[in-house]
């Protein structure tokens, strides 16, 4: 059995980490002797999780490219050079056979270092609209894996032949829980409509604030709420619920996402690529509130699902407690609405994405 050596480079948010882990786990399941290393900007919790899962971890000091000229460009240039030198050292130290970049400017130094060392390079784009790092790295990649067919239009025509659609890998662990057991885990009742609100791995203060006000108008005899608010907002959100007659459980961060998805009738969330991939893979109804800043990747993701009648969308500048309550009731009151959203959401899911992507990676090593 071949002993593959693979370096996966990625950013430190859940949107990059979770599909990277899903890919790594799929490769390890097929080839237990494979050595997989992660490289990027990781906080302590994520780094420890990766090590506990049997992966080696290398830290680099990645820095995003500034949108405007200024001193930030100098800091970016210094960081990019330092990261490139570190990437060269990591690739030589690990004797890797391939570089896989999951995007971000943490992955870019490994793409360039890999090409300099004559290694095959594969990049994966999770969003509908690719980020600046992946658009740049696509010219140096041997294979560009994308999650949506629509994404191909954003890359140069010169590299179209190197593009393949794999979907966005999701963690196999999210499919393991049963609803009855999950309801008992959270202390919820089987007869109520369960809403899960999550702002993604980084949280979302405005969404948290508006939803806690909306919760005042939701009948606690009909609705129960699982609120994943992020570490920064935990005290604020917990304090708000103390003054609300609501059947709610609040978590800063939740490891047991399989149980959270198993009980959810409706998910209210940002529209990060991994979040929508997991929602679709689970075939769940959702109200998406895309992050309104930066390159607006999340808006593209959200409207991709909305245009296929697989999700409802509220832009943050239109987000009020009354609008949110009305949209929740639209889903809750209309059984046909709920079933249609579930069916269309499921049709956009890509449960086999990890397998497709791992095949593309391994093909370079066989």
Q: What is the 3-state secondary structure (H, E, C) of 20-76?
A: HHHHHHHHHHHCCCCEEEEEECCCHHHHHHHHHCCCEEEECCCCCCCCCCCHHHHHH
- 167 a known binding residue? no
| 3-state DSSP assignment of residue 208 | helix
Q: 174: closest CA among 79, 290, 263?
A: 263
Q: Closest Cα to residue 126, out of 363, 361, 357, 313?
A: 357
Separation of alpha carbons 285 and 220, rounded Å: 20
Q: What is the dihedral of CA 26, 29, 33, 38, to 10 degrees?
A: 30
- Please indicate if the annotation marks 14 as binding a ligand: yes
Is 254 exposed, middle or buried, given 0-12, 13-18 or 19+ CB atoms closer than 10 A? middle
The strand pairing partners of 196, in sequence order, are 226, 267
Question: Buried b vs exposed e over 144-183: b needs ≥16 C-beta within 10 Å?
Answer: bbbbbeebbebbeeeeeebbeebbbbbbeebeebeeeebb
As given in the structure block, the two tokens for residue 252 are 């800063």
171 is in an annotated binding site: yes
Residue 15 marked in a binding site: yes
Mapping DSSP to helix (H, G, I), strand (E, B) and coil, where does residue 361 land? helix
Residues annotated in the binding site, as ranges? 13-15, 127, 171, 201, 298
Residues annotated in the binding site for UDP-N-acetyl-alpha-D-glucosamine, as ranges? 13-15, 127, 171, 201, 298
């Amino acid at each position: 059995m071949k002993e593959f050596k693979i370096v996966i480079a990625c950013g430190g948010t859940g949107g990059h980490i979770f599909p990277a882990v899903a890919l790594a786990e799929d490769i390890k399941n097929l080839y237990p002797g494979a050595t997989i290393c992660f490289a990027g900007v990781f906080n302590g919790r994520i780094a420890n999780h990766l090590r506990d899962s049997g992966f080696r971890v290398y830290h680099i000091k990645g820095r995003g490219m500034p949108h405007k000229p200024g001193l930030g460009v100098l800091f970016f240039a210094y960081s990019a050079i330092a990261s490139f030198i570190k990437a060269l050292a990591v690739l030589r130290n690990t004797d890797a056979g391939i570089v896989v970049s999951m995007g971000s400017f943490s992955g870019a130094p490994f793409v360039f270092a890999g090409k300099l060392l004559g290694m095959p390079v594969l990049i994966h784009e999770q969003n509908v609209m690719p980020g600046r790092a992946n658009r740049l790295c696509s010219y140096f990649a041997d294979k560009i894996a994308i999650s949506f067919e629509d994404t191909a239009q954003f890359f140069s025509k010169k590299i179209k032949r190197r593009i393949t659609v794999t979907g966005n890998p999701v963690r196999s662990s999210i499919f393991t829980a049963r609803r009855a057991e999950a309801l008992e885990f959270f202390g919820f009742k089987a007869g109520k409509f369960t809403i899960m609100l999550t702002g993604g791995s980084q949280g979302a203060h405005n969404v948290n604030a508006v939803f806690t006000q909306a919760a005042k108008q939701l009948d606690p005899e009909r609705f129960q709420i699982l609120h994943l608010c992020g570490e920064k907002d935990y005290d604020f959100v917990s304090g708000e619920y103390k003054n609300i007659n609501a059947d709610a459980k609040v978590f800063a961060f939740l490891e047991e996402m399989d149980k959270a998805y198993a009980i959810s009738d409706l998910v209210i969330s940002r529209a990060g690529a991994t979040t929508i991939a997991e929602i679709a893979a689970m075939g769940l109804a959702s109200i998406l509130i895309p992050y309104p800043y930066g390159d607006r990747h999340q808006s593209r993701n959200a409207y991709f699902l909305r245009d296929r009648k697989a999700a409802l969308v509220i832009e943050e500048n239109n987000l009020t407690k009354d609008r949110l309550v009305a949209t929740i009731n639209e889903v809750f009151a209309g059984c046909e609405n709920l079933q249609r959203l579930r069916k269309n959401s499921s049709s956009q899911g890509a449960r086999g994405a990890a397998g497709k992507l791992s095949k593309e990676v391994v093909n370079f090593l066989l």
